Amino acid sequence: QSALTQPASLSGSPGQSITISCTGTSRDVGGYNYVSWYQQHPGKAPKLMIYDVTNRPSGVSNRFSASKSGNTASLTISGLQAEDGADYYCCSYTSDYTLVFGGGTKLTVL
Amino acid sequence: QVQLQESGPGLVKPSETLSLTCDVSGYSLSRGYYWGWIRQPPGKGLEWITSIYHSGTTYYNPSLKSRVTISVDTSRNQFSLRLSSVTAADTAIYYCASHWSYDYFDYWGQGTLVTVSS
């Protein structure tokens, strides 16, 4: 079970949009519409931001959106704000009934 | 709203068994939901360990399956993790979490740091 591939780090200026990619295989990301995204601030527990590829839980800003194409899922944050600086993780269901996370992306808001 | 709180020893000796409990409030484990454990080595990423459905069906990360046991105690409204034969590589923050749908975690505990050291 290999971790999904995410860029280690990204940065953007306030007001800009950024996209974090999450690449897997046809046995996980590409095979199912079961990708979720989590935001984690230092010293805090992860927070669910997106589930089932595109759905936002109640209370999550609509500046967060997500999509999937083939074996790659993407999380887009528009109108970047200082509070968006955090680590982001994708997670996918897999064909052997397990769950696998991405390696994480550290987002810096300049 | 579901609330979760991990508890257990913060220090475990190599080759021993790590045991953690997650107390759940705001929801009865017997009613439904999946319940899981995720860990995060210091400065590293998240790793799913195991999950259990309220009925008792279990799911394991293949890389840890031989050493992991998850169980539910509905009378105490808690679920537990046991990880045997630990090494320094098992040092991590361990989170318990709930998932209404198997594929995503909606509520998380605050996490507890477990260090494996003699």
In 3-state terms, what secondary structure has residue B90?
A: helix
pLDDT band at B31 (very low <50, low <70, confident <90, very high): confident
* Whole-number percent of chain B with pLDDT over 90: 88
Asked if the Cβ–Cβ distance from B110 to A1 is below 8 Å, we say no
Asked if the Cβ–Cβ distance from A32 to B59 is below 8 Å, we say no
Spell out a b/e string for B55-87, using b for 16 or more CB atoms within 10 Å of the CB, else e: eeeebbbeebeebbbbebeeeebbbbbebeebe
Residue among A1, A45, A103 minimizing CB distance to B62? A1
Chain A, nearest residue to B106 by Cα: A48
- Residue pair B78/B22 in contact (Cβ under 8 Å)? The answer is yes
Per-residue pLDDT, B102: 87
Please identify which residue in the block is written with the tokens 């799911």: B59
B11 interfaces chain A, CB cutoff of 8 Å: no
Residue among A36, A45, A96 minimizing CB distance to B108? A45
Chain B, nearest residue to A104 by Cα: B45
Tell whether the model's pLDDT for residue B32 goes beyond 90: no
A64 interfaces chain B, CB cutoff of 8 Å: no
Please identify which residue in the block is written with the tokens 């887009």: A76
Per-residue pLDDT, A2: 85
B73 interfaces chain A, CB cutoff of 8 Å: no
B42 interfaces chain A, CB cutoff of 8 Å: no
Ramachandran angles phi, psi of A96, nearest 5°: -105, 30
Mean pLDDT of A53-82: 97
Mean pLDDT of B37-62: 95
Asked if the Cβ–Cβ distance from B108 to A36 is below 8 Å, we say no
Q: Burial level of A67, CB count in 10 A (0-12/13-18/19+)?
A: middle
Asked if the Cβ–Cβ distance from A91 to B102 is below 8 Å, we say no
Average confidence score pLDDT of chain A: 97
Spell out a b/e string for B26-53, using b for 16 or more CB atoms within 10 Å of the CB, else e: ebebeeebbbbbbbbeeeebbbbbbbbe
Per-residue pLDDT, B1: 87
Strand-pairing partners, residue A47, are A39
**Residue B80 to chain A, least CA–CA distance (Å):** 19
Please state, in angstroms and rounded to a whole number, the distance separating the CA atoms of residues B19 and B40: 16
